[in-house]
Structure 1
């Protein structure tokens, strides 16, 4: 369910924690967490906030964790948050400017199915005239074609990859 300011106030009450402050606290908890399980829970929570457009401006103001973590769960949740939020052009621009595209492309070869799905979705939203050359490298297009052809193995990979190809790749390439 998407939120607006009035709904948010109803949910948190008059003395509730403002959303920006809450997200900043989550990021601080991540930075101070010592257990991988705590970090995973926090990044999953941040990724869920990235689903709602109400949170986009708040998320742009906090320093969210990066995708270059060695923990596969953190990468999965991180790229999930990127996929959730990069439908917004301002968020997509930040991901691109911060060098996120190569990290997302690396996620295409992850052993974690959700990570790959999120990466395909993120690239679908990120690909535009200004970064098409960076995303539509032959090796990326080849991976997308293989996923599109793998309908018997994974319908979600197949459908998402085919949507990517339909939107961004000329069928004669």
Structure 2
């Protein structure tokens, strides 16, 4: 349950200190104590405070965000867990999302090196919330190294919680919605020279087809800019056109990362009215691998 100011006032003893002051004392104790157990207790308390939005201004005022990030860089897994849990709790606050954009390297670094399942879960939940709220770009967060790590955890994790499956599934796919127009078809025909009449105004709108190569180009755009992202090279591709794709209809294009190894694999499809009109898969050389190839 979230709190109200009235509720907090009622719970504070007459001679007690208020919430803001108490949080400030906790932050001071984190930096002044030399006792690791005391630091663990402090970060656990601060992480609990981060759960309730009414405490967020107090955490800001006390610079508790710096404590959360500092704890990620310690070798102590309890401190790391408390820090990432706190950031996961508070990340949707606008000020925190701005702060986190500058600290993403630290957060990602912890995710890549940890072997602690709960830290992984909180990291994935943090990534999910940031991406789902549009607070960070996928290309900024889902680097080839992160995607590879997500894939490895998916394969080895024995955790059957549904939330874990959903988080990993979300992080390993990109979905865009397109609505192709006659102008799109004409521009594409002009560029490629494909003036087949089935794409032209000579055919009734309800029978007019979007160029198959245009659908594949949209998929290529996602692969090259979002998942896996810049630097990706397509090595091999296989696809089928299952039904005509019509203009002026919502077209949902989805690319899913199946594995993120030396040679990555993606599957993709385009749907109209929940029916698959185009589907395929591709083998890819990701940025780190393609750069090595270019250097050799």
TM-score tier, shorter chain, comes to 0.7 to 0.9
Give 3-state SS (helix, strand or coil) of 1:171's partner.
Answer: strand
Alpha-carbon contact 1:56-1:85 (below 8 Å) kept: yes
1:110 and 2:132 matched = no
Aligned residue runs from structure 1 range 20-169, under 5 A: 20-64=20-64, 65=67, 66=70, 67-97=72-102, 99=103, 101-108=104-111, 109-127=113-131, 128=134, 130-149=136-155, 153-156=158-161, 157-165=164-172
* 1:44-88 Cα deviation digits (max 9, x unpaired): 110111111111111111222112112121111111100111022
Report the alpha carbon displacement of residue 166 of structure 1 after superposing the two structures with TM: 5.0
**Gaps spanning 5+ residues in structure 2: where?**
176-226, 228-253, 257-265, 267-296
How far off is 1:126 after superposition? 2.3
1:129 is displaced (CA, Å) by 6.2
* Correspondence for 1:171 among 255, 262, 266: 255
Q: Greater strand percent: which structure?
A: 2
Q: Any idea what the Cα deviations from partners look like across 1:12-71, whole Å, max 9, x if unmatched?
A: 144431211110000111111111111111101101111111111111112221121121
- TM-score scaled by length of structure 2: 0.52
Partner Cα distance (1:15, 1:164) in 2: 49
Give the TM-score normalised by structure 1.
0.85
Tell me which protein shows more helix as a share of its residues: 1
